[in-house]
Amino acid sequence: MSDWTSLWYVWLILLAVFLLLLCGVSASCIKFCCQKKRLPVETFPRHPCDLTVIGIDSDSTAHSTVT
């Protein structure tokens, strides 16, 4: 069996994985904190809109011409 301290490339790989994990956690924490402080901005201003609904019976002439 090899001695773990002599396997320098294993420690290098573990260090690289640890640094990538640390960078990922730091970036997501920073992103979360920045989104929390930022005020929500509406992309489109809300305008009141009118909606018209017309009921059609099966006996009406408009229904028979549409179908």
CA 55 → CA 47, 51, 63, distances in Å? 26, 13, 10
Name residue, tokens 């920073």.
30
Contacts of 32 (CB under 8 A, 6+ apart): none
Q: What is the pLDDT of residue 25?
A: 95
Q: Say how far apart CA 59 and CA 67 lie, in whole Å.
A: 12
Residue ranges of domains in the chain? 1-55
Per-residue pLDDT tens over the stretch 3-62: 666 788 888 999 999 999 999 999 999 988 887 666 666 677 677 778 787 776 666 565
